[in-house]
């Protein structure tokens, strides 16, 4: 099993770089560009196993100062390439009622949620099933102190 592993120890570059893009374009025409999908929450990982969309098992061990990104080229051979695709990040968009923003911010920090702010809304990164986030603010949703926007 180990002998079939594709060992990857560096990022060759960004698929958008002209030199790489040209070679990848040709390989893609022949269906030889494989994709490894990495969840946003897993991007900081330096060592992990992954399987490409074409079934190649990869053993990825990157230098500590390297960070994965969407479009990172991990392998580029004459007849094959492997490129990273970052999974989409889902966000919960929450609107606090007037006077409740501070408390909602405190709650999110206390629960160690990853958040962003936009137009008076709190965006919470969905790293575990969304029901688990909603369960934590159930009372506030019911009382109208927080509103879930867009679903």
Partner 1 sequence: MSKGAARVGIGGPVGSGKTALLEALIPRLKARGVDLAVITNDLVTHEDAERLRRANLLDPSRVLAVEAGACPHTVIREDPTLNMEAADSLDRAFPGLQLILIESGGDNLASTFSLDLVDYWLFVIDVAGGDDIPRKRGPGILQCDLLVINKVDLHEHVGVDLPRMLEEAKAVRAGRPIVCTNCRKGDGVDQVADAICHAVLFQDA
Footprint of partner 1 (CB under 8 A): 1-2, 5, 7, 9, 41-42, 44-49, 59, 61-66, 112, 127-128, 132
Closest approach of partner 1 to the CB of residue 70, in Å: 17
Closest approach of partner 1 to the CB of residue 133, in Å: 12
Contact 140, 83 (CB under 8 A): no
CA distance 111 to 103: 12
Contact 83, 71 (CB under 8 A): yes
- Percentages of the chain per state (helix, strand, coil), in multiples of 5: 25, 35, 40
Q: Considering the complex, state which of residue 21 and residue 43 has its C-beta at the smaller distance from partner 1.
A: 43
Closest approach of partner 1 to the CB of residue 32, in Å: 24
Q: Considering the complex, state which of residue 9 and residue 138 has its C-beta at the smaller distance from partner 1.
A: 9
């Amino acid at each position: 099993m180990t002998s079939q592993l594709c060992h990857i120890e560096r990022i060759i570059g960004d698929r958008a770089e002209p030199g790489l893009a040209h070679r990848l374009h040709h390989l893609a025409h022949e269906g030889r560009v494989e994709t490894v999908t990495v969840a946003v929450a897993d991007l900081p990982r330096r060592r992990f196993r992954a399987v490409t969309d074409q079934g190649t098992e990869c053993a990825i061990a990157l230098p500590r100062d390297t960070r994965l990104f969407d479009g990172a080229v991990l392998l580029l051979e004459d007849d094959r390439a492997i490129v990273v695709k970052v999974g989409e990040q889902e966000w919960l968009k929450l609107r606090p009622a007037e006077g409740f923003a501070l408390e909602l911010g405190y709650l999110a920090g206390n629960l160690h949620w990853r958040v962003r702010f936009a137009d008076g809304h709190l965006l919470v990164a969905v790293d575990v099933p969304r029901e688990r986030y909603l369960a934590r603010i159930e009372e506030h949703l019911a009382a109208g102190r927080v509103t879930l926007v867009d679903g």
